[in-house]
Amino acid sequence: MAYTIHSGRLSDLPFLRTIELAAARLLQGHAPESVLQETTSQEDLIEAQRQGLLWVARKHDTPVGFAHVTLLEASAAHLEELDVLPAHGRRGLGRQLVMTVCRWAEQAGYDAVTLTTFRNVPWNMPFYAKLGFAEIPPAEISRPLLAVILDETRRGLDPANRVVMRRLCAGVRVSPA
pLDDT of residue 1: 58
- ∠ at Cα 126 (120, 128), nearest 5°? 120
- 12-41 burial, b at 16+ Cβ within 10 Å, e below that, comes to bbebbeebbebbbebeeeebeeeebeebbe
pLDDT at 170: 85
Distance CA 61, CA 110 (A): 30
For residue 74, pLDDT over 90 is answered with yes
Q: Does 176 map to a domain?
A: no
Long-range contacts of 127-130 (CB under 8 A, 24+ apart): 127/94, 127/95, 128/98, 128/165, 128/167, 129/165
Please check whether residue 30 lies inside any domain of the structure: yes
Quote the domain boundaries for residue 163.
4-168
What is the per-residue pLDDT across 113-136, written as a single tens digit (0 to 9) for each? 999 999 999 889 999 999 999 999
With contact defined as beta carbons under 8 Å apart, do 90 and 3 qualify? no
Residue 97 three-state SS: helix
Listing DSSP states for 14-50 in one string gives: HHHHHHHHHHHGGGBTTB-HHHHT----HHHHHHHHH
| For the chain, percent of residues with pLDDT exceeding 70 | 96
φ/ψ (deg, to 5) at 67 = -125, 135
Q: Residue 127: give its domain's CATH number.
A: 3.40.630.30
| CA pair distance 36, 123, nearest whole angstrom | 16
User: Is 147 inside a domain boundary?
Assistant: yes
Residue 90 clears pLDDT 80, i.e. is over it = yes
Domain count within the chain: 1
User: Is 177 among the domain residues?
Assistant: no
Instruction: With respect to residue 175, please indicate whether it lies within any of the assigned structural domains.
Output: no
pLDDT digits (tens, 9 = 90+) for 91-106: 999 999 999 999 999 9
Q: What is the pLDDT of residue 175?
A: 55
Tens-place pLDDT, residues 31-70: 999 999 999 999 999 999 999 999 999 999 999 999 999 9
Question: Global pTM?
Answer: 0.94
Q: Is residue 101 part of a domain?
A: yes
> Would you state the pLDDT for residue 177?
47
Spell out where the chain has E strands: 4-7, 54-59, 62-70, 76-84, 112-118, 134-135, 162-168
**Residue 48 lies inside a defined structural domain of this protein:** yes
- Is residue 56 in some structural domain? yes
